[in-house]
Amino acid sequence: MGQKFAAASKAIGVLVADSNHMQSQLLVSALRRRPEFRVSCCEAKANAILTAIVDRPIDVVLMNAKHDLGVARNLHLSHPQIAKILLIEASDRNTVVNAFRAGVRGLFCFSDSPFRMLCKCIQCVHEGQLWASNKQLEYLIETITQVPSLRIINSHGSKLLTPREEQVVALVADGLSNRDVARELGLTEHTIKKYLYRIFDKVGVSSRVELVLYAVTRGAVRSAEWIPT
């Protein structure tokens, strides 16, 4: 009895978050046949996932790529210690890059790999490793130091901001908080605040909302580039 309890306590807590009930049940049933996992499930909604995490110890969350990546990002910000795996149908560049930006630690496609590899994927991300194919890693390497920027001009068409300030505007326009912008650029939150004060002064606005509206009406997206700190 003691040995069974010890084995159960060492099992990896896996949460399958998928709103497709049939697909979720099939995956849960398959994973529960593996003694190294302790499996539960819920809908792929933020509240449902957070409730499931409170109710039982969870180490790894499996999420379906068909659902909003914002859920994965919010989960990463609130529970960074929990590893996230995204189940995908195709490895297109946007899905791969956006998934890892959202805090996902592994990408798994059933059309490319058998179920036993998913089990290995879960174990790897639980141990702190990344799980990605060579092609997916190429996408990450190409974009890891690149942040989109937004060229801001005045009514005469003159450039107003430095390249780094343009990156800050682009991330703010995407809805990121100061803390998230700082994390994306590898800077401190205090530094981002200083950037924003300078940007407000140059553009002639007094709030983030006004800045975003200004960027939308007078901004032009520029190719991502590496800018030294």
**What pLDDT shows up at residue 154?**
64
Q: Which domains does the chain have, with CATH numbers?
A: 2-142 (3.40.50.2300), 147-225 (1.10.10.10)
Share of the chain above pLDDT 70, in %: 83
Compare 44 and 85 and report the one with higher pLDDT: 85
Q: How far is CA 135 from CA 33, 97, 131, 140, in A?
A: 31, 12, 12, 9
Compare 220 and 202 and report the one with higher pLDDT: 202
What tokens were used for 80?
A: 């960074």
**What pLDDT shows up at residue 112?**
87
Strand partners, 38: 13
pLDDT digits (tens, 9 = 90+) for 137-190: 888 877 655 556 666 666 666 777 888 888 898 888 888 899 989 988 889 999
Helix axes 189-203, 178-185, angle to 10 degrees: 110
Strand partners, 60: 14, 83
The answer to whether residues 61 and 15 touch, using CB atoms and an 8 Å cutoff, is yes
The answer to whether residues 171 and 186 touch, using CB atoms and an 8 Å cutoff, is no
Round to whole Å and give the CA distance between 36 and 11. 5
Confidence (pTM): 0.62
**What pLDDT shows up at residue 82?**
95
